[in-house]
Amino acid sequence: MYPWDKINPQQDSSIRLIHECARRGHEVAITHPKNLTIRDSVTLSYCKTIIPERVSTSIPSFYKMVKFEKAMRPLREFDVIFMRDNPPLDPLVLNFLDSIKDDVFIINAIDGLREANNKIYTAAYYDPNREIIPVTHVSKSIDYLMRVIAESDQEKMIMKPLDGYGGSGVIVIEKSAMHNIKSLLEFYINKSGQESSYVILQEYVEGAENGDVRVLMLNGEPIGALRRRPAAGDIRSNISVGGSVEKYKLTKADRILCEKVGKKLVQDGIYLAGLDIIGSKLIEVNVLSPGTLTPINKLYNVKLQAKIVDYIEKVVEEIRQNKEEFRVEDMYGQDV
């Protein structure tokens, strides 16, 4: 996950998952991508393991008082590895975890994260009739993107960096300001001292000025939703940049979208995700560290972390049973 000292215990989703696991008596260890190590062909990481003590019901108190033991540990010894780092994802992290992906339940799955850890995942959805995905273009070519804007029958489009998160870099561009757009594209694509970056251009979905809907998906099913509204003078509705939240009931069109997208998510090994929806169209899929768990809990007086940990426990138990059946079958040379 991201650094422990960067957590805001009042809002953070990861601390709620950690607290729920510790509250149930599970051994919980925390590590960071920079700590991954291979020694003698064994994948390890320098971990901070929570010392078992009475777990406070208050999550801010738990965060403040928790104590750790620090040690290098083989990752194969864990039942579950929960990927909660912020984008962009370093692909080398996945290479480290390839060696244990058949032994440990990783949420979300390594191959799924390879495919879905950036915004191309949504842009490449097969949706020929444009029923659930806005018209989307991804490129590094300034000439091509300028042509897309000029040929669009819309006055406005959304522009954002491919590897941004939390609303970073999302802007509305207007054809009436065409003389500024090339300069903007050059800034986004040719950042000083860095390799050129991809840019996304997306059709402006009506209603975007009123915010978006965040849906948390667990094993292909929606488990919670809210509406995010942007602060005055901002197009972005992300809570991290000042957006506000309110209750939201999924429409029939929203549920159809969730069903279609949910099937692909599970197929790709994306078990926990945040969908961003505007006008019943899918704008983004967040697969690395989807947030909004805390505000959904507050709005509806629920504990979604309990549902998530219930699911993880169920998967781990099924894996254990399958391994036991395999051992018995191997012992007696017959099906059981």
Cβ atoms of 131 and 106 within 8 Å: the answer is: no
Specify the CATH number for the domain of residue 158.
3.30.1490.20
Sign of the CA dihedral running 294, 298, 300, 306: positive
| pLDDT tens by residue, 212-252 | 999 999 999 999 999 999 877 665 566 665 678 999 999 99
Peptide bond into 88 cis (omega under 30): yes
Q: What is the DSSP letter of 10?
A: T
In a domain, 119, yes or no: no
Mean pLDDT of all residues in 280-290 = 91
In a domain, 326, yes or no: no
The predicted pLDDT at position 210 comes to: 85
In a domain, 16, yes or no: yes
**296, 289, 22, 99 alpha-carbon torsion, rounded to 10°:** 150
73 and 143 belong to one structural domain: no
In a domain, 120, yes or no: no
Report how far residue 261's alpha carbon sits from residue 218's, in angstroms, rounded to the nearest whole number: 12
172 and 236 belong to one structural domain: no
In a domain, 236, yes or no: yes
Nearest partner of 287 among 76, 24, 86, judged by Cα: 86
Report how far residue 109's alpha carbon sits from residue 287's, in angstroms, rounded to the nearest whole number: 10
198 and 224 belong to one structural domain: no
242 and 290 belong to one structural domain: yes
In the chain, what percentage of residues exceed pLDDT 70? 92
In a domain, 128, yes or no: no
Domains identified in the chain, total number: 3
15 and 92 belong to one structural domain: yes
Cβ atoms of 62 and 93 within 8 Å: the answer is: no
186 and 219 belong to one structural domain: no
62 and 91 belong to one structural domain: yes
| pLDDT tens by residue, 53-64 | 999 999 999 999
146 and 173 belong to one structural domain: yes
91 and 150 belong to one structural domain: no
23 and 95 belong to one structural domain: yes
Specify the CATH number for the domain of residue 23.
3.40.50.20
75 and 101 belong to one structural domain: yes
Q: Which domain holds residue 269?
A: 210-302
The predicted pLDDT at position 253 comes to: 94
In a domain, 282, yes or no: yes
Report how far residue 178's alpha carbon sits from residue 219's, in angstroms, rounded to the nearest whole number: 43
In the chain, what percentage of residues exceed pLDDT 90? 62
The predicted pLDDT at position 242 comes to: 66
Q: Is the model more confident about 323 or about 142?
A: 142
How much is the mean pLDDT over the chain? 89
Predicted confidence (pLDDT) at residue 313 exceeds the cutoff of 50: yes
Report how far residue 172's alpha carbon sits from residue 162's, in angstroms, rounded to the nearest whole number: 15
